[in-house]
């Protein structure tokens, strides 16, 4: 690796193994120093950058933003209905918020534990298949009920499914490659502050 | 009694790999199947208790 100052006076590094490679690099970059002149180049770089603050490592939030597609809204409303042992299981996503209904009720109707598991597994598969159709960056949310003594278990289940930790009870997820990936409240606010979104109505802050 | 984090990892891996029927069969032969059922049953909220009669 050879440090250089290019024709615009910008610091750069050229990786070149052979003399031929160095020549080629010089043609492309328009470098003014090469080979043994590298030391001179370093001195120039130092001089050029003496008044600039030192390069800082990116914060975890910056890195998260770089790895996250720009946020977009989910479709206004999608609904999927299937049948599990004669139970009607419905998954609705309204303005990004996921809700699951069994026999048209938000709360659990009378059913055995085994039946409850079958319904839950089907409901999660239905959510996965809806999410698979959504573009990268789609923001999804849910606000799990915590008043029935099952809140901790429910939150864990949602976290495994790809939601971030609760933030004032709201859990958030961003679609990446057709799958849900977690986003915390802090990460969400950072993306919003930095306008890391497109076509985005703030339905779900 | 709660399922451990490593057990949850294992359950979730099975969930991602198996069909619904195969998943149900797998749960039924697990020694902690009651806990696994409780875990999945938590997805849908319970009926709220009825308000006390006047």
Q: What are the pLDDT digits (tens) for A73-125?
A: 887 888 999 999 888 999 999 888 898 888 888 776 678 899 999 999 999 99
Q: Is the pLDDT of residue A7 over 50?
A: yes
Higher pLDDT, B54 or A190: A190
A141: left (phi over 0), alpha (psi -120 to 50) or beta: beta
Are A114 and B47 an interchain contact pair (Cβ–Cβ within 8 Å)?
Answer: no
Q: Which domain holds residue B25?
A: 18-42
Is the Cβ–Cβ distance between B48 and A148 less than 8 Å? yes
Are B44 and A123 an interchain contact pair (Cβ–Cβ within 8 Å)?
Answer: yes
Residue B33 belongs to a domain = yes
Average pLDDT for residues A6-31, to the nearest whole number? 61
Q: Is the pLDDT of residue A38 over 50?
A: yes
Residue extents of the structural domains in chain A: 2-56, 77-193
Residue A171 Cα to chain centre, angstroms: 14
- The pLDDT, as a whole number, for residue B50 is 42
Residue B37 belongs to a domain = yes
Alpha-carbon distance of B44 to B51, in angstroms, equals 20
Alpha-carbon distance of A105 to B45, in angstroms, equals 10
Residues from chain B contacting residue A145 (CB–CB below 8 Å): 45
How many structural domains comprise chain B?
Answer: 1
Q: Is the pLDDT of residue B53 over 50?
A: no
CATH architecture of A77-193: 3-Layer(aba) Sandwich (3.40)
Mean pLDDT score of chain A = 83
What's the whole-model pTM score? Answer: 0.73
Tokens of A53: 């603050």
Q: Is B8 on the interface with A (CB under 8 A)?
A: yes
Residue B26 belongs to a domain = yes
Higher pLDDT, A4 or A179: A179
Confidence of residue B51 (pLDDT cuts 50, 70, 90): very low
Q: Is B50 on the interface with A (CB under 8 A)?
A: no
Residue B13 belongs to a domain = no
Residue B34 belongs to a domain = yes
Q: Is B46 on the interface with A (CB under 8 A)?
A: yes
């Amino acid at each position: 690796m050879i440090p250089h100052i290019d024709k615009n006076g910008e610091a750069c590094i050229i990786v070149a193994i052979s003399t031929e490679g160095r020549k080629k690099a010089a043609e492309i970059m328009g470098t003014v120093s090469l080979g043994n002149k590298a030391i001179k180049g370093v001195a120039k770089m130092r001089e050029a950058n003496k008044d600039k603050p030192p390069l800082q490592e990116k914060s975890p939030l910056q890195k998260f933003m770089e790895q996250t597609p720009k946020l977009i809204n989910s479709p206004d409303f999608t609904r999927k209905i299937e049948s599990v042992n004669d139970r009607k299981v419905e998954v609705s996503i309204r303005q990004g918020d996921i809700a699951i209904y069994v026999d048209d009720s938000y709360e659990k109707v009378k059913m055995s534990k085994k039946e409850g598991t079958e319904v839950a597994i089907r409901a999660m598969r239905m959510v996965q298949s809806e999410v698979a159709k959504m573009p990268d960056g789609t923001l999804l949310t849910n606000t799990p009920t915590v008043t029935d003594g099952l809140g901790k278990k429910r939150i864990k289940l949602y976290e495994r499914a790809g939601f971030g930790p609760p933030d004032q009870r709201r859990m958030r997820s961003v679609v990446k490659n057709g799958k849900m990936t977690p986003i915390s409240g802090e990460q969400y606010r950072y993306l919003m502050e930095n306008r890391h979104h497109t076509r985005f109505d703030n339905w779900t802050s | 009694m709660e399922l451990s984090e490593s057990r949850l990892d294992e359950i979730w891996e099975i969930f991602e790999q198996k069909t619904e029927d195969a998943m149900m069969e797998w749960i039924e032969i697990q020694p902690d199947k009651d806990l696994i059922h409780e875990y999945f049953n938590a997805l849908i909220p319970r009926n709220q208790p009825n308000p006390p009669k006047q």
